């Protein structure tokens, strides 16, 4: 199943990147794409793939101009994005969106120097709405990426009502927003979430637990774009068959992980 099978629907391919990692038997660069779940932050688990091999596979399946959403796992978890390393990584590989884990406006400028189609301002690394207000004044290439636990938006050390958060983004002038469903990331799509009325105030780009087989449902629900979980070839399946990473896991709430126990 390929992107071209779905007409004008745009699939963005999530690329959770582990950098500065020494892993023998991979590609020797220390840069790998990992499947992730939400636990004590974004946790790599299970299967990993050399970055260059994964990018080649996505290009084979969906075309060399298919868009990737590069998510710097270390940057999002610890706020220490390696912009120099990202620059080397992103030099080739086609168009990309970038979620490096920005914490202040200087990080936003650093992200924009890498020339992404969209520089994502993720809620996990910021405490409030101030950086979103600053970023939209800097560039129209900046859009919010709000991480959700059910109907709550998860920020650094606190939570906000998701509906109020989206209304705030709209009032700032944002026209679209990536919403990452943390409960479903690495698992399976929560259909009830993506038909909720609170999502109707601005254009929402769903993310978290989404595979190519979910596109017909999302299209019927009024979406024309979504972020796909990473996919791999299954050793037990035909060569042309792919499946979303981690779908065997049950859904749980990040509230129970201990990561936000002090919130």
Residue 84 has pLDDT above 90, yes or no: no
User: What CATH number labels 9-257?
Assistant: 3.20.20.70
Where is average pLDDT lowest: 3-17, 21-35, 112-126, 200-214?
A: 21-35
pLDDT at 4 over 60: no
Alpha helices in the chain (DSSP H): 51-62, 73-78, 83-89, 105-112, 130-138, 162-172, 215-220
pLDDT for 138:
94
pLDDT at residue 23, as a whole number: 37
Is 261's pLDDT higher than 80? Answer: no
With a CB cutoff of 8 Å and minimum separation 6, the contacts of 194 are 206, 218, 221, 223
Name the residue ranges covered by the structural domains of the chain: 9-257
Query: Which of 1-5, 52-56, 200-204: highest mean pLDDT?
Result: 200-204
Query: What mean pLDDT value characterizes the chain?
Result: 80
pTM of the predicted model, to two decimals? 0.83
Strand ranges (E), the chain: 10-18, 32-39, 41-50, 68-72, 96-99, 118-122, 142-149, 152-155, 158-161, 176-181, 203-207, 225-228, 231-233, 242-244
């Amino acid at each position: 199943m390929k992107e071209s099978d779905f007409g004008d629907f745009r699939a963005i391919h999530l690329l959770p990147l582990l950098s500065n990692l020494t892993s023998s038997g991979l590609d020797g660069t220390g840069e790998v794409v990992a499947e992730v779940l939400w636990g004590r932050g974004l946790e790599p688990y299970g299967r990993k793939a050399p970055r260059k091999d994964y990018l080649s596979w996505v290009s084979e399946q969906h075309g060399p101009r298919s868009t990737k959403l590069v998510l710097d796992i270390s940057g999002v978890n610890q706020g220490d994005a390696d912009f120099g390393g990202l620059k080397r990584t992103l030099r080739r590989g086609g168009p990309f969106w970038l979620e490096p884990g920005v914490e202040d406006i200087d990080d936003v400028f650093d992200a924009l120097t890498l020339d992404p189609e969209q520089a994502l301002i993720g809620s996990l690394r910021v405490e409030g709405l101030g950086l979103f207000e600053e970023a939209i004044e800097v560039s129209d290439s900046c859009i919010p990426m709000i991480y959700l636990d059910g109907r709550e938006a998860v920020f650094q050390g606190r939570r906000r009502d998701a509906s109020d958060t989206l209304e705030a983004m709209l009032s700032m002038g944002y026209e679209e927003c990536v919403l990452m469903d943390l409960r479903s990331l690495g698992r399976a799509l929560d259909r009830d979430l993506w038909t909720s009325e609170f999502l109707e105030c601005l254009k929402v780009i769903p993310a978290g637990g989404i595979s190519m087989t979910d596109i017909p449902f999302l299209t019927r629900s009024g979406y024309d774009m979504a972020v796909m979980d990473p996919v791999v070839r299954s050793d037990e399946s035909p060569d042309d068959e792919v499946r979303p990473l981690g779908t065997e896991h049950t859904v749980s709430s990040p509230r129970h992980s201990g990561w936000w126990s002090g919130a």
